[in-house]
Structure 1
Amino acid sequence: MQILVASNNAKKLGELERILAGADVAGIELLPLSQAPAYGEPVEDGRTFADNALIKARAGARATGLVCIADDSGLSVEELNGMPGVLSARWSGRHGDDEANNALLLGQMAHVPDGRRACAFVSVCALVTPEGEEHVAEGRWEGTLLREPVGENGFGYDPLFLPADEIAAGRSSAQLTPEEKNSLSHRGKALAQLVEVIRHLAAR
């Protein structure tokens, strides 16, 4: 069975592939947007992660006739009342400019003491079938905002995020292996909740 992953981010595709393999779900071919019939990508104008994930998944399923999985995710900083939130990818004003987004966030939080730097990565994954069946799952990864980038792995705000699970070791999200990140991360937690849905669809 083919499943459209409404993204061209190879790391997101790889994360889902590893999760499905780890759960022994076979017979699934994941397609990125670049390998699907072209369609107009929808405007992500939702107010929540769930809104945006569903907007993308519904558009993909409707346009291609394939089961579609989409996620919307970002960093929620308590001191900033949950922002950047749904604006995480374009916090600096330029979509996908990780360096600029990180620099702006560090500047905004520069004088915030260590005790008030709590944050969480949040991911909402939506699966929509061509028949209109919808499943939504949320994952959270609690942690603390660092004062400078650390590590070379991952993407986005990973170098600024010290997971609660890694405080003793002092490793940022960008210092974890892909396998370690899958077992801990917000997106991994959300995707894992969809494994049995995907297994059921593949068995139909």
Structure 2
Amino acid sequence: MKQLVVATKNAGKVEEFREMLSKYGIQVKSLLDFDEPVENIVEDGETFEDNATIKAEAVSKKFQVPVVADDSGLEIDALQGAPGIYSARYAGEEKNDQKNLEKVLRELKEVSTGKRTARFVCAIAVARPGHATFVKRGTCEGTISEQPSGEEGFGYDPIFIPQHSDRTMAEHTSVEKNSISHRNHAILKIEQWIQDFS
């Protein structure tokens, strides 16, 4: 079984990757599986693609293994695309999911239902020793609810209602979420590489 390293310490994200890649017979490892710490990687890119590439290349270079890294976040049209690449730290550097979504709801307080359009964005970079890095983007369109609902998922899932649904992402099972998520859409775009790799 081939091993693929996902450049993250986010346990929720690791589990999503694990579930989505299991059908390819790939064993997913993450930065949580390495005793040797990865120095703080400065994600100073201007786009999701930039930041995913920075992470993937840094981890691949350190461990000399194939690595996938994603940078993902929420773009809200009424907020001119914010929080965007700052999604994880929108309410402060401590990366607090609850405070982040509360800030979004405050900022949309006066925005009517029809104008609360948004999308989850995921850019996945694949870095391999001796090969050029490539990046693919996936999206999931939807709207922002007026209050949080649901216990599944993480991040902004409790306030994001995907298109063609009347439930927030956090009210979907992990199987349902993974079939429509921005991360799954990005993985499908690198599927040929995954199949060749596995």
Q: Normalising by structure 1, what TM-score?
A: 0.91
Alignment of 1:9-158 (within 5 A): 9-22=10-23, 25-26=24-25, 28-36=26-34, 37-158=36-157
Which consecutive unaligned segments of at least 5 residues does structure 2 have? none
Letter in 1 for 2:192: E
1:181 to 158, 174, 177: 177
CA deviations over 1:36-87 (Å, ceiling 9, x no partner): 3323131011110000000000001000001011000000000111010000
Structure 1 residue 7: deviation in Å?
A: 0.7
3-state SS of 1:76 partner:
strand
SS in 2 for 1:165: coil
Q: Does 1:3 align with 2:7?
A: no
Q: Would you say the 8 A contact 1:140–1:186 is kept in 2?
A: yes
Structure 1, unpaired ranges of 5+: none
Residue 174 of structure 2 aligns with an amino acid whose one-letter code is P
Indicate if the aligned counterparts of 2:49 and 2:125 stay in contact, CA closer than 8 A.
yes
Matches of 2:78 and 2:58, distance apart in 1: 34
Contact 2:31/2:38 (<8 A) preserved = no
* Matched residue SS, 2:164: helix
**Aligned-partner residue type, residue 77 of structure 2:** E
1:200 positional shift: 1.1
Counterpart Cα distance in 2 of 1:8 and 1:174: 21
1:19 and 1:192 in contact (8 A); partners too? no
Paired residues in the alignment total 196
CA distance in 1, matches of 2:39, 2:179: 34
Q: Is the 8 A contact 1:41 1:59 kept in 2?
A: no
Identity %: 38
Q: The residue matched to 1:96 in structure 2 has which SS? A: coil
Name the Cα RMSD after superposition.
1.3
Amino acid paired to 1:14: E
Structure 1 SS opposite 2:85: helix
What is the TM-score of this pair, normalised by structure 2? 0.94
CA displacement 1:126-146 (0-9 Å, x = unmatched): 111011332211111100111
Q: Secondary structure at the match of 1:20?
A: helix
In 1, the alpha carbon distance for the partners of 2:65 and 2:30 equals 12
Mean alpha-carbon deviation: is it higher for 105-114 or for 1-10? Answer: 1-10
Q: Deviations over 1:135-185 (max 9, x none)?
A: 21111110011110011111111010011120xxx2110000111111101
Alpha-carbon separation, structure 1, partners of 2:19 and 2:100: 28
- Match of 1:159, SS state, is helix
> 1:97 deviation in Å?
0.2
Separation (CA, whole Å) in 2 of partners of 1:46 and 1:78: 21
Q: Quote how far apart the aligned CAs of 1:12 are.
A: 1.9
